Homo-oligomer: A and B are copies of this chain.
């Protein structure tokens, strides 16, 4: 079996689900002939035609609002937002309607849509092309928020997202779109939403991350291993609802935890994870949970973005802070 990249895994999942379920349609800007600016929808127009692969006018509120309408009719729209920095005009539709339709109508109308978007920095892209707003969606009840970290997870989680009966925000770390290749059988097997994955076992410290940052986190774990420090690495994968149990089980073992994310620190997802570990696992904690995050500044333009993104060095520094505690 050929190895594929994360973005190819996304295309593979979209094509799979479109083949087996004719209610699945995709829509967005430049997703047709062009196959998306990152080529996530490459070939879909040819395979499924313009009625299912819809190049839309340039309007994100419209994309979300139309998807909500389609979903209410039993379609399963997968809407692409060209970059997650351009999803903000759609927040009203997403927050006010997608997230609430089931609750508002007590289950009569639902919104089984997926909002996909390239996400995160480190690709030397112009301003607004490198944002990490997962905290915003995680705070809004009604969404599931999913961020894959590898081709296999991208495939399995996207299938799960499309099949989920509720709206899923699916954020794709563009920095690792083509970073690694994996064999990903096109067997239609979904991965569970709402579950963390233990990516690496260890007993000295728990490193928690997701998306592209998981790669620096893994690198840090490798470097630490050379110092005989054995980190357990957790890929959160579903940011909301959070699978705190898997994290707590790890922290119960290690007693120390570092959470790593690209997004700004203040009221970020790292805070939630830290707060829950304290609430439910304080007795197992040997040091305060450390956060290695983006700063509370707008993501810098490419020339300076490397100063913003969490690095192995910062992660290792935080691990030592945790280990040296008391």
On A, residues with C-beta under 8 Å from B are: 61, 85, 88-89, 91-92, 95-96, 99-100, 103-104, 127-128, 133, 135-136, 138-142, 240-242, 263-264, 266-272, 274-276, 278-279, 282, 287-291, 295-298
The verdict on A267 contacting B135 (CB below 8 Å), with A91-B91, A275-B275 known, is: yes
Partner of A240, one of B92, B267, B268, B270: B267
B275 and A282: CB pair below 8 A?
Answer: no
In the complex, what residues of B have CB within 8 A of residue A263's CB?
Answer: 139
Measured between beta carbons, the chain B residues less than 8 angstroms from A85 are 96
Kindly list chain B residues whose C-beta atoms are within 8 Å of the C-beta of A140.
264
Q: Find out whether the CB atom of A270 lies under 8 angstroms from the CB atom of B264.
A: no
Which chain B residues lie closer than 8 Å to A290 at the CB level?
279
Do A297 and B141 touch across chains, with their CB atoms under 8 A apart? yes
Say whether B289 contacts A275, CB under 8 Å. Answer: yes
B267–A139 touching, CB < 8 Å: yes
- Taken together as a complex, chains A and B put the C-alpha atoms of A77 and B302 apart, in Å, by 32
- B contact residues around A295 at 8 Å (CB): 141
Top 3 closest pairs, chain A to chain B, by CB? A88-B92, A274-B275, A271-B275
Say whether B141 contacts A296, CB under 8 Å.
yes
Contacts of A92 in B (CB 8 A): 88-89, 91
Asked whether, in the complex, the Cβ of B278 is within 8 Å of the Cβ of A142, the reply is no
Known A135-B267, A266-B272: A289·B298 in contact at CB below 8 Å: no
Would B139 and A135 count as touching, CB distance under 8 A? yes
A135, chain B: closest CB distance, angstroms = 5
B266, A139: Cβ atoms under 8 Å? Answer: yes
Q: A136 contacts which chain B residues (CB < 8 A)?
A: 136, 139
Once A92-B89, A288-B278 are accepted as A-B contacts, the answer to whether A142 and B298 lie under 8 Å apart by CB is yes
Do A141 and B264 contact each other (CB < 8 Å), given the known contacts A88-B95, A99-B298, A278-B274? yes
Expressed in whole angstroms, the minimum distance between the Cβ of A107 and any Cβ of chain B is: 14
